[in-house]
Each structure stands twice: as structure tokens, then as C-alpha cells.
Amino acid sequence: MGTLLKPRLTVRRKAIQANYAEICRYAPGVEICPVVKSQAYGLQAVEIVRALIACGCRNFYVSVIAEGIELREEFSDIQINVLNGLQEGTEKIFSEYRLMPVVNSVEQLKRWEKMLPNVQTDCVLNVETGFNRLGIREADWPSYTPEQWKKNRIPLFMTHFACVAEDVSDDAERNRIVEEQNRRQFEVYGRALRHFQLPGSVALDAFLQNTKQLPIAQIRTGAALYGIKVFPEKLNLQPTLLLEAPVLQMETIRKGERIGYGATWEAQRDTIVAVLGIGYSHGLPRSLSNRGTVWFHHKNDRYPAPIIGRVSMGLTTCDVTDIPSSGISGSAMILDEHYTINELCTDADRLDSEILCNFKQMEWRYEE
């Protein structure tokens, strides 16, 4: 492989495909639609879509038109749904690239009606159920009948839930708010099913929390495909990423000396320090300063090295004093099969998908 000159992120296609299969297994008969917005949470949408097409997947969600155009130029026979919808002046682009708009408002619906029948796609109706972001609000529902949805080529409605993935078991008041929010949104979703008489689409976390067993025809899923563990008691998801960084230098500092910006870490003994060529400019969270861990692999052995001092723009320092010299190679693992994005986000106290989306300025590799 040669000397590692900058951080390298390896994306394991088979793990992503296995996670897609696991979701399909858990939800038989429900259409599974990958969400590949923001470059598939930073993992490069074209590569991820190509891997999922090999599993038989043909229906994908993106956020904006530019993402849809990029995919259409690579893949002619997939359905591409654009979540941000039919903005004014974008009608010709949707038509030219056969992009399927998600209609988020009465104004967007009127634009869509003007485009008919001169478009090749249908559209998805976004229904607001309590998130209070995008979507047609319940007060506007009576203006439209089920017959109009057929006329307007709307085969499906979608909605999004605010709190179904929240873990607030240690906070009674937050738990009350979350339970009330979920109850209200599922009630509105049920009313939407009855009013629109269309199949419904929700995100994976809402499907997993659907205790009322309301009909769900389509699941939108992003984070779980990329190895972020959602509801691990229900889904057996595989880690998809390996992230390694080069060791640039090894130094021994004496007891009482300090490391890095702000001198926030003091050596309690003579300490061997490895300087790694990765920092927050590559997306490594600065909040891992003095609290994260990196890993050195040697044959069948795996050694932890705590991060010491502040994570800086391009460098991170770690304590390798207790690692045998034979165990220190030319690179350290930031993510591996055991210390995954889930453990990293816990140590960093950051949202897992936020961390994924921020990985950049590194070598990318895709392997089976």
C-alpha cells in the first residue's frame, strides 16, 4: 500500500449492502429507500448508490437538485426524489433530469399542477404532522380530495417525526415531552392515512417506534445503512468505515511537560507521544481533545492510545507509552471494526451523522 501520507477513509461496500439487507429483513413487504443526501452523509453518493443498486434498490432520496443531477448523470434507470421540493424556477430542471419532487407546500403543489401532464415522473406529497418544518399543514388538507391526488399523479405521501430516535430515559421532563410529541405525530399520521387514502412513507426510526401498527408502505433510511446503530436491540447493523491516520513523528516528553494548544494536558510521567496527521480540518471532532482514543494494530493485537492535548487543525497527539514498540506502525486507526462511529460520537459528545458529514481532505477508498 506504500506510506500513508494523509488520513484514509475506507468504506466497506459489503457492510452497507448487509445493512440494507438487514433492514429489508426486519420490514418485509415494505419498500426500503436509501437517503443519500449530503453525499450519502459524506460517503460519496455515487459510490453508495452503485453499491445499493447491486442489491436491487432503485429508489433514492436526495436533498437538493444538484445532488439529483449528479446521480441522474450516472444512473439513468433509478428514481430520484428531491426532498427540498419544487422551488420556483426549477420546473425545467426537474423535467429534463426526470427528478421526482417532494411537494412541501400549497405553492409547490400549484407549480406541480402547472407542469402536468408534460412530465415523466410522479411526485411525493410531504405532509406536516408536527415537526413544523416542511410539509402541507392539516388546515390545508380539506382543500384537496383523493381524486385530485390521482389526477395530480401523487402516489405516496411522506412525513417526518421529530423525536422517535431520542434517548431521554434519564430525564423525566424531556421523556414526557418526547412521548407527547410522538403520540401527537402518530395521531396526525393516522389521520393523514385516512384523509389522503394514500400509502405513507416515514423514516426508519419512526417505523421502529410504530407501536400503534399504523400502515407504512415505505421506509426512508440513511444513518443505519452507514453503520450508525439505531435501536440495536432490533437491528444487527455492521460497521462500514475504517479511518486511519499517518504517524508523522514520535517524541518522548518528560514528566511535568505539557502538550499542545492551551497546554491542557500535563505528563504525569515520562511519556512517549505519537503525532498523527489528522485534525479538525479533516473532520475529527475537536471535542475528542483529552478524551478520545485511537488504536494501533499489529498482527492480531490491538492497542489503545488515548488522545492527549487538544485536537488541532491538522494534528492530533496520543500517548503510546504503554504500547510495545513492535505494536506501533506507521499509522493509527481512528475507526475500526470495534471502535466505530457510534463509540466515536459518544466520546466526542457529537451527533453521529454530523461527524460523518464532516469527513474531508482525506484519501477515500472503497472495498468489498
Q: For residue 3, what pLDDT is reported? A: 80
193 and 252, same domain (yes or no): no
From residue 208, alpha-carbon distances to 195, 200, 233 in Å are: 24, 15, 11
Written as nine digits, the cell of 331 is 499509522
Half-sphere exposure of residue 145, counting CA atoms within 13 Å on the CB side? 3
297 and 360, same domain (yes or no): yes
Measured between alpha carbons, how far apart are the two ends of the chain, in Å? 17
Mean pLDDT taken over the chain: 93
> How far apart (Å, rounded) are the C-alpha atoms in residues 130 and 137?
9
**In-domain check, residue 4:** no
104 and 141, same domain (yes or no): yes
Task: Please confirm whether the linkage preceding 117 is cis (ω < 30° from 0).
Answer: yes
Contact 20, 253 (CB under 8 A): no
> How far apart (Å, rounded) are the C-alpha atoms in residues 256 and 268?
6
From residue 157, alpha-carbon distances to 97, 133, 250 in Å are: 22, 16, 57
Could you please report the per-residue DSSP string of 255-274? TT-EETGGG-EE-SS-EEEE
29 and 164, same domain (yes or no): yes
Q: For residue 2, what pLDDT is reported? A: 59
Radius of gyration of the chain (CA): 24
90 and 205, same domain (yes or no): yes
39 and 100, same domain (yes or no): yes
Q: For residue 168, what pLDDT is reported? A: 64
CATH code for position 117: 3.20.20.10
From residue 238, alpha-carbon distances to 89, 225, 241, 299, 349 in Å are: 42, 9, 9, 22, 22
CATH code for position 343: 2.40.37.10
Q: For residue 128, what pLDDT is reported? A: 95
pLDDT at 349 over 70: yes
Percentage of residues in the chain with pLDDT exceeding 70? 99
Please write the tens of the pLDDT for every residue from 267-296.
999 999 999 999 999 999 999 999 999 999
Written as nine digits, the cell of 93 is 430542471
Written as nine digits, the cell of 286 is 475537536
pTM of the model: 0.93
CA 330 to centroid of chain Cα atoms = 30
Please write the tens of the pLDDT for every residue from 152-204.
999 999 999 998 877 766 778 888 888 888 899 999 999 999 999 999 999 99
Written as nine digits, the cell of 49 is 448508490
330 and 186, same domain (yes or no): no
219 and 133, same domain (yes or no): yes
The domain boundary residue, chosen from 201, 226, 251: 226
Q: Is 364 exposed, middle or buried (0-12, 13-18, 19+ CB in 10 A)?
A: middle
Residue with cell 468505515: 241
266 and 205, same domain (yes or no): no
The domain boundary residue, chosen from 194, 226, 258: 226
176 and 102, same domain (yes or no): yes
Taking phi over 0 as left and psi of -120 to 50 as alpha, with beta for the rest, 349 belongs to left
Please write the tens of the pLDDT for every residue from 206-239.
999 988 899 999 999 999 999 998 888 899 999 9
- The boundaries of the domain holding residue 113 are 13-226
Contact 157, 190 (CB under 8 A): no
49 and 192, same domain (yes or no): yes
274 and 333, same domain (yes or no): yes
Counted domains in the chain? 2
pLDDT at 149 over 90: no
**Average pLDDT for 253-265:** 96
